[in-house]
Structure 1
Amino acid sequence: MKSRGRQDAILRTLRRTGTSTLAALVREVGASRSTILRDLSALRDEGYVIHAEQGRGGGLRLDPGSVPATARLTVTEVFALIVCVSSMRAARTLPFSSLADAGLAKIEKTLPPDTLRDLRRLLDCLYVGPLAPQVDTSTLGDTEAALSPAFEQAFLERSRLKFRYRDAKGTETERQVEPQAMLILPPLWYLVAWDPMREDFRHFRMDRISRPEVIEGPAFRSRRVPFDAGVQPVRYA
């Protein structure tokens, strides 16, 4: 387990149990005593107040109010929340969408400038718009389970993505593209990509993609995607 995962596990244990011991954390996290001590030191450096009780057993207690809940959110984690909230807001009929929107805005106000800058770069690749009434959604299917992790990796690392694609007529072709943006047109989700073979942008319905595979190699360059006037980039930060 990497250090971030261990530290999150330590925080979960301390929050859940209230008070724990070093020996219990060693068992819970599955790391050595010295590693747990290093992780505790790193957490304290981040601002977490972890009280150590003297005496046999070495009790440990986390001050629940010591650090804001947003302190350990990464850029990609905040972006993932924005994707989810944006899809809720675009659907317009889902309960609690406005509350989720307000909560996310509060989270973003606490982000440091460098995190905010990186987040805005990702938001340039997230678009939401209304679905045209003539679009047929009767064939909407489930998205293949393997697509989400493959798309996330290719999108964030700017790696090419290879997959099989089934068009509206049922014809399947193999594609290898550069994921440039994500387009949400409820209830449809699209991968917007630059197709090097066709030297043009293409929109791929995610429920029609199968057998996705990330292609390792140099990062491709970002391209500005042209959209219709009704499609707008998501803006929070």
Structure 2
Amino acid sequence: MNRTARLYALVEELRATAPRPLTVAALAARFEVSTRTVQRDLQALMEAGVPVRTAPGRGGGWSIDPEMTLPPIHFTADEASALAVALAAADGCTPYADAARTAAQKIAVSMTGRASAAAQELAARIVTLPSPSDSTVRTAVEHALTTKTVLRLSYIDAAGRESHRVVEPAGLLTADGRWYLIAWCRTRQAGRGFRLDRITGAAPTTEQAQPKDLTELLRDSAAAGAVHPTTLAPLTPSSRKPKAPLR
């Protein structure tokens, strides 16, 4: 068994016995490897964001939170390759890029066989040109969107003018390889789009933002024709009807 397959099997072994912990010795015997190898594998899973944990002392060992992990997912080679390409596109300027990176690691751990080989082979042939980015700004934008809180921005527009805004984030727009924060701007008393790479400073607040309809904020703007990506359709709650293309 190669290491990738063993990492996947370790996760499933811990899932099968959860919440009861397993000792390193028991796992080493199960997979016929040394305890040092198991320790290295478990550490790799932790670094990849897999929710494995250890409890010291008598009756302790390693366990996993089954509610925070996925059951086995069987990807086809084409699906695995598509995921490799999509996750590779999440560079430093992409919202939630850090989460995308750990998701890629978790997916890699879960794949075996032809799917794993296809993803690894394609990943070896994808390169990117790093772009300068401010992770502090990206993190603040992500936090404001997730917590639905007000955000204070310093922004430079296309003409090079800097302004300071207080905004209520509503969502994200992607177009032509750029990402925009769509928000209600209290300074302008109107919906506005802020290109993420032009935000020079972002300070989170604890003030709750008023709910804003993304469709309404985009109405009569250059992005009025924006639509929800079809790849995200399965994530939309079934109780909500899909919105028509924006006009």
> Same fold, TM exceeding 0.5?
no
Give me the TM-score of the superposition, normalised by structure 1. 0.44
Structure showing greater relative contact order (alpha-carbon pairs closer than 8 Å, 6 or more residues apart) = 1
Normalised to the residue count of structure 2, the TM-score between the two structures is 0.42
